[in-house]
Amino acid sequence: MTLEDLRVLVAVCRAGSLSAVARDLGCSQSAVSQHIRRLERKTGVGLLERHARGVVPTAAGRVLCAAAADGLAGIDLALRRLDDLARGDGGSVRVTTGATTVRHFMAEAIVEFRRRHPGVRLEFQTENSSRGCFDALTANDLDLAWITIGEPVRGVEQRPVVDMPWVLATRVDDPLASRPYLDADDLAGIRHIRLPERSTSRARLEAAFADLGVRVDSDTSVADWDTAVLLAELGLGHALVPALPGWRVPGVDGPLRLVPVPALPPLSAGWAVRRWDTLTPSARTFADLVARSCAEKNADGRTDEHAEGSAEEDA
């Protein structure tokens, strides 16, 4: 049993396909099978079940895969840090995140981090969902994952950074745009722009709809929150999205209106790591800078909102 055998097992269990792993590794499917057979001989149990559309781990395979993933992630991280020490450079911080996260949550922190630590490399790996970020974090030698806080994930610690209330993004000429806030009943008639499939935000929103007894019509779906807001601005429907740090709510940006929906439970976003106490000082600094930046932008948004309200009252 070798580390490479275990790496291949983890890859096969995640991909559900021997041929896909062979393509990724640039080897033959027979070579991938040999790694699995060697593990099965060593353990004395079958690790994979063959099906028409690929393979799935047996109960024993799931146990070994989970243990191997945890161990390999720690080994890979240690090897990368040893490499940094050997080369004598400033090291690196590796982050996995969604497509639009850097712009909304991290931009100011990245600039500040680069100013403070010019010798540290910042590396970003983009995933399409929090689930993808979790998988990337546990499968690779990544330091941090920015995710929508959700159910506990084995071998991962989650730390909330920012709570985001839901808002309805709609054109300013829409009848709902003039409302100070919306109740659950107001959502029944919207033309809903669905959030990314298999995303935590979509799952949370649909669960909230079910709890509130809300049914919505939808003929449009998107791959990210920014696209949902853009389509709402273009008049293609209504986008229910989390109020991102720095957004003024209620607020107006050109033809777009953001209307609070306090009936929906806020969405929480933040960091996921394998273990906080093993983060490098650079990774910990970057995580803290992002958290501070989000807090400052939210504080600025609340200040702007209060100022707008005061001006309207004075008028």
Is residue 76 in a domain?
A: no
Q: In terms of pLDDT, which residue wins out, 40 or 141?
A: 40
Burial of 2 (0-12, 13-18, 19+ CB in 10 A): exposed
Q: In terms of pLDDT, which residue wins out, 246 or 270?
A: 270
Q: Do the beta carbons of residue 202 and residue 223 sit within 8 Å?
A: no
Whether omega for the bond prior to residue 250 falls within 30 degrees of 0, making it cis, is yes
State whether 43 and 56 are in the same domain. Answer: yes
pLDDT > 90 fraction of the chain, expressed in percent and rounded: 43
What pLDDT, on a 0 to 100 scale, did the predictor assign at position 307?
A: 35
State whether 177 and 260 are in the same domain. Answer: yes
Apex 223 CA angle, 268 and 240, nearest 5: 50
Question: CATH number of the domain that 201 lies in?
Answer: 3.40.190.10
State whether 158 and 212 are in the same domain. Answer: no
State whether 173 and 256 are in the same domain. Answer: yes
Tokens in use for 114? 């680069």
pLDDT band, residue 272 (cuts 50/70/90): very high
Cα(280)–Cα(302) distance, rounded to whole angstroms?
33
Q: Strand, coil or helix: what is 302? A: helix
- pLDDT surpasses 60 at 103: yes
Q: In terms of pLDDT, which residue wins out, 108 or 301?
A: 108
pLDDT band, residue 86 (cuts 50/70/90): low
Domain closes at, from 12, 39, 68: 68
pLDDT band, residue 160 (cuts 50/70/90): very high
What pLDDT, on a 0 to 100 scale, did the predictor assign at position 60?
A: 92
State whether 257 and 190 are in the same domain. Answer: yes
Query: Tens digits of per-residue pLDDT, 161-205?
Result: 999 999 999 999 999 999 999 999 999 889 999 998 888 899 999
State whether 96 and 243 are in the same domain. Answer: no
What pLDDT, on a 0 to 100 scale, did the predictor assign at position 303?
A: 39
Q: Do the beta carbons of residue 142 and residue 274 sit within 8 Å?
A: no
State whether 116 and 30 are in the same domain. Answer: no
State whether 291 and 206 are in the same domain. Answer: no
What pLDDT, on a 0 to 100 scale, did the predictor assign at position 312?
A: 32
Query: Tens digits of per-residue pLDDT, 295-307?
Result: 998 776 553 443 3
Query: What pTM value is reported for the model?
Result: 0.71
Is residue 79 in a domain?
A: no
Domain with 41 in it: 3-68
State whether 235 and 283 are in the same domain. Answer: no
Number of domains in the chain: 3
Cα(190)–Cα(208) distance, rounded to whole angstroms?
15
What pLDDT, on a 0 to 100 scale, did the predictor assign at position 89?
A: 55
pLDDT > 70 fraction of the chain, expressed in percent and rounded: 88
